[in-house]
Amino acid sequence: MKDIFTGELVRLSAFDPEELAKAYTDWTRDSELQRLFDAGASALHSAKAGRDFFEKMLKEENPANHFFSIRKLDDNRLLGDINLDVINEWGSCDAFVGLGIGDRNDWGKGYGTDAMKIILRYAFTELNLRRVTLTVFEYNPRAIRSYEKVGFHHEGRLRKILLRDGRRWDMLYMGILAEEWKERNHG
Protein backbone atom coordinates (compact mmCIF):
# COMPACT_ATOMS: atom_id res chain seq x y z
CA MET A 1 0.00 0.00 0.00
CA LYS A 2 1.13 3.53 -0.77
CA ASP A 3 1.84 5.99 2.05
CA ILE A 4 -1.41 7.94 2.19
CA PHE A 5 0.29 11.10 3.49
CA THR A 6 2.88 11.44 0.69
CA GLY A 7 2.39 12.96 -2.73
CA GLU A 8 4.73 13.76 -5.60
CA LEU A 9 6.08 17.04 -4.17
CA VAL A 10 4.94 17.22 -0.55
CA ARG A 11 3.91 15.16 2.42
CA LEU A 12 1.49 15.85 5.24
CA SER A 13 2.67 15.60 8.82
CA ALA A 14 1.47 16.37 12.31
CA PHE A 15 2.21 19.95 13.14
CA ASP A 16 4.29 21.32 15.94
CA PRO A 17 2.50 24.34 17.51
CA GLU A 18 5.77 26.16 18.18
CA GLU A 19 7.13 25.63 14.66
CA LEU A 20 3.84 26.58 13.01
CA ALA A 21 3.41 29.67 15.22
CA LYS A 22 6.88 30.91 14.29
CA ALA A 23 6.17 30.33 10.59
CA TYR A 24 2.79 32.08 10.81
CA THR A 25 4.46 35.07 12.44
CA ASP A 26 6.62 35.42 9.32
CA TRP A 27 3.90 34.53 6.82
CA THR A 28 1.29 36.94 8.22
CA ARG A 29 3.60 39.88 7.61
CA ASP A 30 2.52 39.42 3.99
CA SER A 31 -0.85 41.19 3.79
CA GLU A 32 -1.59 39.65 0.36
CA LEU A 33 -1.34 36.18 1.90
CA GLN A 34 -3.68 37.21 4.72
CA ARG A 35 -6.20 38.49 2.19
CA LEU A 36 -6.12 35.13 0.41
CA PHE A 37 -6.58 33.23 3.69
CA ASP A 38 -9.29 35.20 5.42
CA ALA A 39 -12.04 37.78 4.98
CA GLY A 40 -11.17 39.46 8.28
CA ALA A 41 -8.92 42.45 8.69
CA SER A 42 -5.21 41.70 8.53
CA ALA A 43 -3.61 41.43 11.98
CA LEU A 44 -0.11 40.75 13.25
CA HIS A 45 0.51 38.30 16.09
CA SER A 46 3.60 37.33 18.02
CA ALA A 47 5.05 33.83 17.83
CA LYS A 48 4.08 33.32 21.49
CA ALA A 49 0.45 34.28 20.81
CA GLY A 50 0.42 31.95 17.82
CA ARG A 51 1.89 29.09 19.83
CA ASP A 52 -0.67 29.64 22.60
CA PHE A 53 -3.46 29.58 19.99
CA PHE A 54 -2.23 26.36 18.35
CA GLU A 55 -1.61 24.64 21.70
CA LYS A 56 -5.12 25.56 22.88
CA MET A 57 -6.53 24.26 19.61
CA LEU A 58 -4.73 20.94 20.08
CA LYS A 59 -5.87 20.61 23.71
CA GLU A 60 -9.46 21.15 22.65
CA GLU A 61 -8.92 18.86 19.70
CA ASN A 62 -12.14 17.71 18.18
CA PRO A 63 -11.93 14.31 16.47
CA ALA A 64 -13.81 15.86 13.56
CA ASN A 65 -10.92 18.24 12.84
CA HIS A 66 -7.86 16.96 11.02
CA PHE A 67 -4.90 19.38 10.93
CA PHE A 68 -1.66 18.76 9.06
CA SER A 69 1.53 20.58 8.18
CA ILE A 70 2.59 20.56 4.53
CA ARG A 71 6.27 19.68 4.07
CA LYS A 72 8.41 19.65 0.96
CA LEU A 73 9.52 16.11 0.17
CA ASP A 74 13.15 16.75 -0.73
CA ASP A 75 14.18 18.88 2.27
CA ASN A 76 11.29 18.49 4.77
CA ARG A 77 10.80 22.28 4.83
CA LEU A 78 7.50 23.56 6.26
CA LEU A 79 5.46 25.03 3.39
CA GLY A 80 2.05 25.56 4.96
CA ASP A 81 -0.90 23.79 6.48
CA ILE A 82 -4.10 22.03 5.47
CA ASN A 83 -7.11 20.93 7.46
CA LEU A 84 -10.36 19.04 7.13
CA ASP A 85 -13.30 20.00 9.32
CA VAL A 86 -15.71 17.05 9.16
CA ILE A 87 -19.40 17.78 9.51
CA ASN A 88 -21.39 14.65 10.20
CA GLU A 89 -24.82 16.07 10.86
CA TRP A 90 -27.68 13.92 9.65
CA GLY A 91 -25.17 11.33 8.42
CA SER A 92 -23.88 13.63 5.68
CA CYS A 93 -20.17 12.74 6.01
CA ASP A 94 -19.08 16.06 4.52
CA ALA A 95 -16.04 18.21 5.27
CA PHE A 96 -14.71 21.67 4.59
CA VAL A 97 -11.05 21.89 3.61
CA GLY A 98 -8.68 24.80 4.18
CA LEU A 99 -5.24 25.10 2.61
CA GLY A 100 -2.45 27.64 2.80
CA ILE A 101 1.08 27.83 1.43
CA GLY A 102 2.78 30.48 3.52
CA ASP A 103 5.76 31.86 1.60
CA ARG A 104 4.95 33.54 -1.71
CA ASN A 105 8.22 32.13 -3.11
CA ASP A 106 6.54 28.71 -2.89
CA TRP A 107 3.36 29.77 -4.69
CA GLY A 108 2.67 28.48 -8.19
CA LYS A 109 4.99 25.46 -7.87
CA GLY A 110 2.33 22.79 -7.45
CA TYR A 111 2.74 22.29 -3.70
CA GLY A 112 -0.84 23.28 -2.87
CA THR A 113 -2.26 21.13 -5.66
CA ASP A 114 -0.26 18.14 -4.45
CA ALA A 115 -1.31 18.73 -0.82
CA MET A 116 -4.95 18.90 -1.91
CA LYS A 117 -4.60 15.60 -3.78
CA ILE A 118 -3.25 14.00 -0.60
CA ILE A 119 -5.97 15.39 1.68
CA LEU A 120 -8.68 14.26 -0.77
CA ARG A 121 -7.20 10.76 -0.81
CA TYR A 122 -7.26 10.81 3.00
CA ALA A 123 -10.82 12.18 3.07
CA PHE A 124 -12.28 9.62 0.68
CA THR A 125 -10.27 6.49 1.52
CA GLU A 126 -9.56 6.84 5.25
CA LEU A 127 -12.45 8.96 6.53
CA ASN A 128 -14.97 7.63 3.99
CA LEU A 129 -16.40 11.08 3.39
CA ARG A 130 -19.06 11.76 0.79
CA ARG A 131 -18.13 15.34 -0.10
CA VAL A 132 -15.36 17.87 0.45
CA THR A 133 -16.21 21.56 0.09
CA LEU A 134 -14.14 24.74 0.16
CA THR A 135 -14.58 28.47 -0.19
CA VAL A 136 -12.29 30.76 -2.15
CA PHE A 137 -12.44 34.45 -3.02
CA GLU A 138 -12.92 35.25 -6.69
CA TYR A 139 -9.75 37.38 -6.63
CA ASN A 140 -7.64 34.22 -6.15
CA PRO A 141 -7.58 32.71 -9.66
CA ARG A 142 -4.41 30.71 -8.95
CA ALA A 143 -6.17 28.79 -6.16
CA ILE A 144 -9.32 28.36 -8.24
CA ARG A 145 -7.31 26.78 -11.09
CA SER A 146 -5.54 24.50 -8.60
CA TYR A 147 -8.84 23.33 -7.12
CA GLU A 148 -10.33 22.73 -10.58
CA LYS A 149 -7.22 20.73 -11.50
CA VAL A 150 -7.84 18.22 -8.69
CA GLY A 151 -11.53 17.87 -9.54
CA PHE A 152 -13.46 20.50 -7.58
CA HIS A 153 -16.59 21.86 -9.26
CA HIS A 154 -18.10 25.31 -8.85
CA GLU A 155 -21.24 24.91 -6.75
CA GLY A 156 -22.26 28.42 -5.81
CA ARG A 157 -21.24 31.89 -4.81
CA LEU A 158 -22.01 34.53 -2.27
CA ARG A 159 -22.22 37.60 -4.45
CA LYS A 160 -20.46 40.81 -3.43
CA ILE A 161 -19.80 39.43 0.08
CA LEU A 162 -16.42 41.07 0.68
CA LEU A 163 -15.28 44.69 0.33
CA ARG A 164 -11.59 45.00 -0.50
CA ASP A 165 -9.80 47.97 -2.02
CA GLY A 166 -13.07 49.75 -2.83
CA ARG A 167 -14.57 46.82 -4.73
CA ARG A 168 -17.04 44.10 -3.82
CA TRP A 169 -15.89 40.49 -4.41
CA ASP A 170 -17.71 37.16 -4.52
CA MET A 171 -16.87 34.14 -2.39
CA LEU A 172 -17.07 30.93 -4.39
CA TYR A 173 -18.14 27.53 -3.10
CA MET A 174 -16.46 24.56 -4.73
CA GLY A 175 -16.93 20.87 -3.99
CA ILE A 176 -15.97 17.37 -4.99
CA LEU A 177 -17.94 14.19 -4.37
CA ALA A 178 -16.39 10.86 -3.46
CA GLU A 179 -17.57 9.22 -6.68
CA GLU A 180 -16.07 12.06 -8.76
CA TRP A 181 -12.75 11.68 -6.95
CA LYS A 182 -12.78 7.88 -7.41
CA GLU A 183 -13.53 8.19 -11.11
CA ARG A 184 -10.64 10.65 -11.59
CA ASN A 185 -8.17 8.60 -9.56
CA HIS A 186 -9.16 5.01 -10.18
CA GLY A 187 -10.77 5.30 -13.61
Task: Return the CATH number at 148.
Answer: 3.40.630.30
Amino acid symbol at 182: K
Domain-located, residue 35: yes
Mean pLDDT of 171-186: 95
**Between the ranges 20-34, 42-56, 83-97, 161-175, where is the mean pLDDT highest?**
161-175
Question: Is residue 177, in this structure, part of any structural domain at all?
Answer: yes
Q: What does the alpha-carbon distance between residue 19 and residue 37 come to, in Å, rounded to a whole number?
A: 19
Tell me what pLDDT residue 1 has: 47
Q: Determine how many CB atoms are found less than 10 A away from the CB of residue 44.
A: 10
Indicate the range of 22-26, 40-44, 79-83, 103-107 predicted with least confidence: 40-44
C-alpha 145/C-alpha 164 separation (Å) is: 22
Q: What is the pLDDT of residue 33?
A: 64
Q: Is residue 23 part of a domain?
A: yes
Residue 119 placed within a domain:
yes
Inside any domain, residue 1: no
How many beta carbons lie within 10 A of that of residue 12, not counting itself?
23
The pTM of this model reads: 0.86
pLDDT tops 60 at residue 39: no
As for how many domains the chain has, the answer is 1
Q: Which domain holds residue 139?
A: 10-186
In angstroms, rounded to a whole number, what is the distance separating the alpha carbons of residues 57 and 162? 27
Query: Who has greater pLDDT, 140 or 50?
Result: 140
The reply to whether 25 falls in a domain is: yes
User: What's phi and psi for 171, nearest 5 deg?
Assistant: -110, 125
Asked if the structure places residue 2 within a domain, the reply is no
Q: Are strands 167-177 and 10-13 parallel, antiparallel or unpaired?
A: unpaired
Does residue 76 lie in a domain region? Answer: yes
